[in-house]
A = this chain, B = another copy of it.
């Protein structure tokens, strides 16, 4: 009974965090404008209550009583894993002074408006005071959290546990070595045509087609729904209610389509986690205080990137599904074939804005942010020198001169929330997607399924090797079990090289 009582307490923590996610979803999709101010208070209260319930004396006493009850079981059994994770999370939160958490929430609550104004005016100096405080507070937080190598490791722990500056350095080097020559070579070649993607695609038809493709990949609408938002996202309120959003641009069809496949990939991770883990810590990020089954932000991104890019932007996918696209958009795609469509949606074009970047240039946007965040955290880069450092990296990687900070260092919302350390997961997700897709393709059923536009075997492989485990295994444990090794950029680089050499003849 001791363990069960403890588990029910953890269920309440999960309930509170799911409630918070529902309030967030509502705020971004349905809430009337007037509701913003009091909604922020409600969200803050749910955060505080969840954290306080996790570290409460009687929660710890429930854990104390649960541990001896399962002491005789194997160390890797679910119960033991859960107890260890909860103890680790309690220790983590108790290390950080409540006052610091409050300060960060305060910084986050005022940051968005300051940032939005600074970005609109392209005025970095207006954002500097807030960012300076954010950096200082995060450095202080890193000391409380603790780290072995680099203070930035402590900040990444919340999003990508186990990842460090030391491990990212060689990974990024390999990626640059593999991808930069490709990018340089493509720059010399003619771009595929994309004019047909810029025709008028009515919003409701885009929504319907995107959702149809998402369902084809396995997204279950009995436990999901699609809405419109300014910034697309996926959010779950247990595996039984996993929602995605998209943004429609009527004269840029790939935006919503691939955005929807991306969010559907995230959604599959949640929808196909083990039902037995519902409301348990294996479906709760107790470090980040977020109700989620994915084991890390990077692992989550592996699923969105895999279904968006490895599957959704592949030649095979459009050879088999272009007919459906043409049925949905007969006029817009009248003069296009599967081959041209596939080439068009894979066009490479270096640009200033991360969220508009293509598959090949995206990681450069990420690598520069991670390097810069690490340098801000260890003090080797001063906030005032940030625009210069940013622009130099954009020049080095993409050959572009940043015209203003709005299209440079001020473009991302992330820092305004008071958070530093959130970026590496995007590139880790790409790398993992390469490994997992390569591994899945070795399964004859997966490969032959995809050759017939059947994606259930692929989804089932991912469920078996990734989704179902929730947060039971670490990201690296999961990756080793699924692909035989920890992070390895080779399959991803091979995927990019192979695709772009076909399209660009490089």
- Chain A contacts to B: CB under 8 angstroms: 11-12, 15-16, 18-20, 22-23, 26, 30-39, 41-42, 44-46, 48-49, 53, 220-225, 237-238, 240-241, 243, 278-279
Contacts and interface: CB of A to CB of B under 8 A. Distances in A.
A30 B28 CA distance: 14
B237 A30 contact: no
Contact of A42 (B19, B31, B53): B19
A353 to B, nearest CB: 31
Contact of A279 (B41, B53, B221, B241): B41
Contacts of A222: 32-34
A12 to B, nearest CB: 5
Contact of A240 (B19, B35, B225): B35
Contacts of A45: 11-12, 15-16, 19
B23 A225 contact: no
Nearest to A243: B32
B223 A32 contact: yes
A15 B44 CA distance: 9
Contacts of A38: 18, 237-238, 240-241, 278-279
Nearest to A11: B41
A19 B48 CA distance: 14
A49 B20 CA distance: 14
A238 B23 CA distance: 13
A33 to B, nearest CB: 6
In the A-B complex, the 8 residue pairs with the closest CB atoms = A35-B241, A34-B223, A15-B45, A38-B238, A15-B42, A34-B240, A34-B222, A12-B45
Contact of A16 (B26, B37, B49): B49
Nearest to A20: B19
A41 B23 contact: no
Contacts of A224: 32
A471 to B, nearest CB: 17
Contacts of A18: 38, 42
Nearest to A44: B15
A240 B37 CA distance: 8
A49 B48 CA distance: 12
A457 B346 CA distance: 61
A461 B482 CA distance: 69
Contacts of A278: 38
A35 to B, nearest CB: 3
A410 to B, nearest CB: 29
Contact of A221 (B19, B22, B23, B32): B32
A240 B53 CA distance: 28
